[in-house]
C-alpha cells in the first residue's frame, strides 16, 4: 500500500505548534502522533469522554478554545502547518 505523498510531506510548523510537538518540519501524520503523545503525557483527555481533549495553555494557543473533540483537532491544526 502506497503512502499518500501529501501526508508524508514535511511541513513547516507554527511556533505555537512547535512548543507542543517539537521542532519542525515534520509530516502531518507525525504532528498528530506527537500531539497525542503530549495529550497523554499531560493527562488532557476528558475522563468522562476520552474523545475530547481538555486544552492546557499550550494547546489553547493552537485550538483557540478549552475543549475540542479529537475530530476537530485535525482541522484546528491546519492553520499551524504550511
DSSP state of 47: T
> Residue 4: its pLDDT value, please?
66
- Report helix, strand or coil for 63: helix
Q: What is the CATH number of the domain that holds 74?
A: 1.10.245.10
Question: What residue numbers bound the domain in which 16 lies?
Answer: 9-80
The closest alpha carbon to 53, from 34, 33, 73, belongs to 73
pLDDT digits (tens, 9 = 90+) for 2-57: 556 766 889 999 999 999 999 989 999 999 999 999 999 999 999 999 999 999 99
Residue 1 lies in a domain: no
Residue 4 lies in a domain: no
Q: What is the distance between the alpha carbons of residues 75 and 58, in angstroms, rounded to a whole number?
A: 17
Amino acid at each position: 500500500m502506497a503512502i499518500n505523498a501529501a501526508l508524508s510531506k514535511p511541513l513547516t510548523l507554527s511556533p505555537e505548534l512547535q512548543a507542543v510537538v517539537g521542532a519542525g518540519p515534520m509530516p502531518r501524520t507525525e504532528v498528530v502522533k506527537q500531539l497525542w503523545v503530549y495529550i497523554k503525557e499531560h493527562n488532557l483527555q476528558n475522563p468522562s469522554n476520552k474523545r475530547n481533549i481538555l486544552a492546557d495553555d499550550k494547546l489553547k494557543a493552537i485550538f483557540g478554545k478549552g475543549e475540542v473533540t479529537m475530530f476537530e483537532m485535525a482541522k484546528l491544526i491546519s492553520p499551524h502547518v504550511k
